[in-house]
A and B are shown apart, each in its own frame.
Chain A
Amino acid sequence: MSLVTAAAMLSGIVLAPLLSGIINRTKALFAGRRGAPFLQPYHDLARLLRKHGVFSGTTTWIFRIAPVSVLACVLAAMVLAAPAGINRTWGFEGDLILFAYLLGLARFLTVSAALDTGSSFEGMGASREVLYSALAEPALLMGLAVLARVSGAMSLAGIYDGLGSTEWTSAGTAIPLVLVSFLIVLLAENSRIPFDDPNTHLELTMVHEVMVLDVSGPDFAAIGYGASLKLWLFGSLAVRLALTPSGLTGWAMLLAFIGGMMVLAVLVGIVESVTARLSLLRAPLLLAGAGALSVLAFVLASRFLG
């Protein structure tokens, strides 16, 4: 493993919480407030790690193992995906499927832990989470399938390596469409506006936050850190794809990528500031739309690449 590969993984592991700091700062700017420091998420994690845990008498071992197991899944996905696009030979054929299913396992554990509390609010959040992800998954995998077709590769690293400025222009608008689809999936999978409002204070309307109402202390730190890693992962899918025409690799790519992630965080902050949350019934339609975009991208790619 080369140094830059390790740096790619570490940058994700270290910088992931910074994204929510940037998002919140952006939102504060739009709201005319000064906002919390960029490093606030790190302070929050450190504080949670020092606390005691409180456990409901209803819960079982599922509730206790879930938070750190979720973190293990997301970290594994990070190891798998972070060096792709920076190290050409990283990964293996089909690693994109493992990537998606590792996040699936994380979701399975989160949802099970939510149902373990027996709370109807957490059940509600869990129910919405599985609905959104059942629709986001096809959009994500069909998007990746289109990229596999355009690049002729079956691994994440191969896909980024096989896409260059020529593919961007020759495949019609297929790649930008996939990029939009990925951004929609990112917002849905990470419980951002317009799918979920991370700042709401009404349990009835939340999705992700309500699932973890009963988690506390270090377990809650694991959940929070896992969530920021997940945001980093989905962000990296989109940012890497957007950077493919640059043709950069290695350290230059890593720096450009980290810069891109910061821009993405600002973008998410702007989306959260200027749009309202969709009604729960409308959100699935947006996700179905993301899937439709992927299919459209496939049609375009097939038409232009022949």
Chain B
Amino acid sequence: MSLILLSLLIFFAGGAAMSLLPGRSRVIPHLGPLTAAAAAIPGFVAAIVILGGGSPASVSLPWSIPSGSLSLAMDRLSALFAAPVLFVTALAAIYGWGYMRGHGGGGRSTARFWAFYNLLGGSMLLVVTAANALLFLVGWEVMALSSFFLVMHEHGEGSVRRAGWIYLVASHAGAACLLLLFSLLGKEGGTLEFAGMALPGGSGAADFAFLLALVGFGSKAGFVPLHVWLPEAHPAAPSNVSAVMSGVMIKTGIYGILRFLPCLGAPPEWWGWTLLAVGIASGIVGVLSALAQHDLKRLLAYHSVENIGIIAAGLGLGLLGISRDIPMMAFLGFAGGLLHMVNHAVFKSLLFMSAGAVARETATREIDNLGGLLRRMPRTGACFFTGSAAICGLPPMNGFVSELLIYLAALAGLTSGGSSLSPATAGLITAGGLALIGGLALACFTKAFGIVFLGEPRSRGAAAAGEVTAFMWVPASILAVTCLVLGLAGPLLLDVLRPVVADVCSALGYALPGAAPFLDGGGVLGPVSIAFAALIAGGLVLLGARRLLMRRRSGGPVPTWDCGFEEPAASMQYTASSFADPIVRLFGGLLRTRRTFSAPAGLFPQKASFSSETPDIYHEKLYRPAFRGLERFFSRFRVIQHGRVNLYILYIVAALVALLAWKLA
């Protein structure tokens, strides 16, 4: 436990030091990332020890706040979330060391940035280790605010300010639900310590609390339709922050759901169904919206929605398995969801780091202005390629292993027999949904990788790009290697996950069987690892054979065959929009893409233009009208807000007197 406290101490002390040091201090750009990386190490070690079989740790310190206590605990579930959080925070800090050079004003602004970055790291660790609801909320709020200020780092741009506000509103709407949830739980249990918070299962209050948790935590995680802040905030933030926010911060929402569901008694079947439906819907909406985007980071942000959906679908299957008493479905659903949480943390931060490197070198995030970067940025390109394969769930990367576990949970539901159709239907929906999501993700990432990194550059910025510094490509490469290692280490991972899932199940009042074939990591995933190894070995043998065969047998470089056209130009290449267009049109009803087209006219056409834009339909059709209505409603209260401070003080006094009178009466 002392390791975790040490971690928190360095994070928060580092944050404080950054804000106290003189703004012009030369050390800040180095001290900032160093403290964040150093702070992450002890906590990461502690988490790995606990995951490796060490005993859970807890500590309680005195705190003079009513019903709050400074009690921290790291059980296996906390450790499973803390490990990726700290891993990614540290790597993104190193990456930021290189990335933040010459980014955003220097001086005070850099100091502020690193102060908030350290605060964000510390608060995420606090959130996953807090054992008291009040402490959890404090951590949650510090996390929301520090990430808000990080998103607003380049606040000179109007779009960044807009994104920041949307994020602030979304996080506080979510936090409001959590306040309500915790007061419900605390009122019934009489304490705000996690251990004592509970609602009687099967009651209407428990159902209400479930919905509160789904909305409150789901808005952080990015469930559809609560996802609207992600595609705004992730592109606006500096890329190291996007990597942390998208890779790990949104996972605290998943953590919250898993932490508080057990307080609500045995899960009725519709909870599992709700989570599954939300998950599949988020997956499909996320990947389709991603396909329609032109902004590389916005595309990645939508993929976070997709992957959060896959995680939620896994957890939903797990809950259904519990309600229907299908242990295999319960175990593999939770294990798949949790493993996908870890995997997504790795490959999504990898992708954001590579995208940040591209944006930094070419000064654009517009996919249709890029191209040919694999030649100019070979390391970044290879990293993005690895990340793309991993996020599409392709073997032999880590994404496949977690998706396979969720598929297996679905198959367990399908083959469960019994008189009820519910688990089988859930299995069919998951299998079809995951297959569609996977196919579309493949379309999206061949588009992202192919248009950005392959072909010829489509702009001067892309043509002039060069490889980034080692500060930036080394952390990304570490993540890329992690993708492959986690892919090959499936059996080991499942063995690590088994006690975590058993904890979650027993907290939900369900006991997994002591021994069963599906509980054995080597039995379930061993053949997959062997197949991966065989695939890699076979691929290498064939590549070697090709090398031998092609010796002195390839001619000099020629232009690409363009069907007899004299001089192929870069502007004639297929663009990201044209690549995605058939799919975007097919699913047009879900996307509402706006196209403006002026056709070439006359015998000697001069000008023609085409542009398309796909705004978030939920933002446009749901939230904007709703918030406009709210604004109209609240503007009526403007009469009492007039800027006269003496009257404001009078309000405060009046409120206090009223409270006192209420207390005395």
Flag the segment in B239-247, B528-536, B616-624 that touches A.
B528-536
The chain B residue sitting closest to A291, CB to CB, is: B432
Known: A55-B555, A68-B546, A115-B574. A104 touches B561 (CB 8 A): no
Which chain A positions have C-beta within 8 A of B446?
108, 111-112, 115, 126, 130
Annotate A209-240 by CB proximity to B: 1 below 8 A, 0 otherwise.
00001100111001000000000000000000
A268 adjacent to chain B (CB < 8 Å): no
8 Å CB contacts to A: which residues of B367-382? 371-372, 374-375
Which chain B positions have C-beta within 8 A of A46?
none
A300 and B648 alpha carbons, distance in the complex (Å): 69
The chain B residue sitting closest to A133, CB to CB, is: B439
Known: A118-B560, A131-B586, A134-B443. A306 touches B371 (CB 8 A): no
Give min CB distance, A100 to chain B, whole Å: 7
Which chain A positions have C-beta within 8 A of B433?
138
Give min CB distance, B22 to chain A, whole Å: 48
Give min CB distance, B459 to chain A, whole Å: 14
**B546/A62 in contact, CB under 8 A:** no
Annotate A71-90 by CB proximity to B: 1 below 8 A, 0 otherwise.
11101100110000000000
Which chain A positions have C-beta within 8 A of B580?
127
8 Å CB contacts to B: which residues of A52-72? 52-62, 65, 67-69, 71-72
**B442/A80 in contact, CB under 8 A:** no
A39 adjacent to chain B (CB < 8 Å): no
**B455/A137 in contact, CB under 8 A:** no
A167 adjacent to chain B (CB < 8 Å): no
A102 adjacent to chain B (CB < 8 Å): yes
**B404/A97 in contact, CB under 8 A:** yes
Give min CB distance, B536 to chain A, whole Å: 9
A13 adjacent to chain B (CB < 8 Å): no
Known: A54-B555, A65-B543, A98-B528. A134 touches B534 (CB 8 A): no
A284 and B586 alpha carbons, distance in the complex (Å): 8
Flag the segment in A24-32, A149-157, A191-199 that touches B.
A149-157
Most B Cβ at <10 Å: residue of A52, A154, A302: A154
Known: A134-B443, A138-B435. A101 touches B574 (CB 8 A): no
A44 adjacent to chain B (CB < 8 Å): no
**B555/A53 in contact, CB under 8 A:** yes
Which chain A positions have C-beta within 8 A of B318?
none
A305 and B545 alpha carbons, distance in the complex (Å): 51
**A118/B456 in contact, CB under 8 A:** yes
A135 adjacent to chain B (CB < 8 Å): yes
Task: Choose from A54, A118, A123, A130 the contact partner of B443 (Cβ within 8 Å).
Answer: A130
Give min CB distance, B547 to chain A, whole Å: 9
**B454/A116 in contact, CB under 8 A:** yes
**Count of interface residues, chain A, beta-carbon cutoff 8 Å:** 88
Flag the segment in A4-12, A140-148, A170-178, A271-279 that touches B.
A140-148
Task: Choose from B451, B562, B581 the contact partner of A119 (Cβ within 8 Å).
Answer: B562
Give min CB distance, A123 to chain B, whole Å: 3
Give min CB distance, B623 to chain A, whole Å: 29
A71 and B421 alpha carbons, distance in the complex (Å): 41
Which chain B positions have C-beta within 8 A of A222?
542, 546
Known: A115-B574, A306-B419. A137 touches B439 (CB 8 A): yes
Known: A104-B394, A149-B414. A75 touches B538 (CB 8 A): yes
Task: Choose from A54, A102, A105 the contact partner of B558 (Cβ within 8 Å).
Answer: A54
Known: A69-B539, A94-B407. A53 touches B450 (CB 8 A): no
Give min CB distance, A216 to chain B, whole Å: 9
Give min CB distance, A283 to chain B, whole Å: 10
A28 and B224 alpha carbons, distance in the complex (Å): 53
B570 adjacent to chain A (CB < 8 Å): yes
Which chain A positions have C-beta within 8 A of B455?
58, 115-118
A276 and B643 alpha carbons, distance in the complex (Å): 76
**A214/B560 in contact, CB under 8 A:** yes
A96 and B87 alpha carbons, distance in the complex (Å): 34
**B424/A302 in contact, CB under 8 A:** yes
Give min CB distance, A88 to chain B, whole Å: 16
Which chain A positions have C-beta within 8 A of B424?
149, 298, 302
Which chain A positions have C-beta within 8 A of B581?
127
A49 adjacent to chain B (CB < 8 Å): yes
Annotate B382-412 by CB proximity to A: 1 below 8 A, 0 otherwise.
0001001100111100001001100110111
The chain A residue sitting closest to B572, CB to CB, is: A120
**B535/A102 in contact, CB under 8 A:** yes
**B436/A137 in contact, CB under 8 A:** yes
8 Å CB contacts to A: which residues of B416-475? 417, 419, 421, 424-425, 427-428, 431-436, 438-440, 442-443, 445-447, 449-451, 454-456
Which chain B positions have C-beta within 8 A of A280?
582
Which chain A positions have C-beta within 8 A of B428?
142, 145-146, 149, 295, 298
A105 and B397 alpha carbons, distance in the complex (Å): 10
**A69/B542 in contact, CB under 8 A:** yes
**A140/B395 in contact, CB under 8 A:** no
A257 adjacent to chain B (CB < 8 Å): no
Known: A57-B557, A118-B454, A154-B408. A123 touches B421 (CB 8 A): no
Number of A-B contacts (CB under 8 A): 264
Task: Choose from A102, A119, A140, A148 the contact partner of B561 (Cβ within 8 Å).
Answer: A119
Which chain A positions have C-beta within 8 A of B436?
134-135, 137-138
A219 and B415 alpha carbons, distance in the complex (Å): 43
Task: Choose from A105, A107, A123 the contact partner of B573 (Cβ within 8 Å).
Answer: A123
**A214/B404 in contact, CB under 8 A:** no
B583 adjacent to chain A (CB < 8 Å): yes
B649 adjacent to chain A (CB < 8 Å): no
Which chain B positions have C-beta within 8 A of A120?
562, 572-574
A62 and B374 alpha carbons, distance in the complex (Å): 9
Task: Choose from B400, B408, B570 the contact partner of A118 (Cβ within 8 Å).
Answer: B570
A126 and B447 alpha carbons, distance in the complex (Å): 9
Give min CB distance, A154 to chain B, whole Å: 5
Task: Choose from B408, B527, B549 the contact partner of A218 (Cβ within 8 Å).
Answer: B549
A123 and B442 alpha carbons, distance in the complex (Å): 15
A118 and B575 alpha carbons, distance in the complex (Å): 10
A115 and B572 alpha carbons, distance in the complex (Å): 13
Which chain A positions have C-beta within 8 A of B371?
118
Which chain A positions have C-beta within 8 A of B434?
141
Which chain A positions have C-beta within 8 A of B13?
none
Give min CB distance, B32 to chain A, whole Å: 36
Which chain B positions have C-beta within 8 A of A217?
550, 553-554
A16 and B484 alpha carbons, distance in the complex (Å): 32
B25 adjacent to chain A (CB < 8 Å): no
Which chain A positions have C-beta within 8 A of B481?
none
A271 and B410 alpha carbons, distance in the complex (Å): 35
B277 adjacent to chain A (CB < 8 Å): no
The chain B residue sitting closest to A217, CB to CB, is: B553
Task: Choose from A108, A146, A149 the contact partner of B392 (Cβ within 8 Å).
Answer: A108
The chain B residue sitting closest to A100, CB to CB, is: B435
Which chain B positions have C-beta within 8 A of A243?
none
A304 adjacent to chain B (CB < 8 Å): no
A121 adjacent to chain B (CB < 8 Å): yes
Which chain B positions have C-beta within 8 A of A135?
436, 439
Which chain B positions have C-beta within 8 A of A104?
392-394, 438-439, 442
The chain B residue sitting closest to A71, CB to CB, is: B542
Which chain A positions have C-beta within 8 A of B542?
68-69, 71-72, 222
A59 and B415 alpha carbons, distance in the complex (Å): 47
**B454/A101 in contact, CB under 8 A:** no
A95 and B530 alpha carbons, distance in the complex (Å): 12
Known: A115-B455, A127-B578. A107 touches B535 (CB 8 A): no
A141 and B389 alpha carbons, distance in the complex (Å): 20
Known: A120-B573, A127-B574. 19 other contacts (CB 8 A): A55-B555, A68-B546, A80-B531, A94-B407, A97-B403, A101-B393, A111-B450, A114-B450, A115-B450, A117-B560, A119-B561, A130-B443, A130-B583, A144-B431, A145-B411, A149-B414, A217-B550, A217-B553, A298-B428
6 A-B pairs (CB sep. < 8 Å): A76-B535, A119-B560, A127-B580, A127-B582, A128-B582, A149-B427
The 4 closest A-B pairs by CB, nearest first: A123-B574, A115-B450, A134-B439, A57-B557
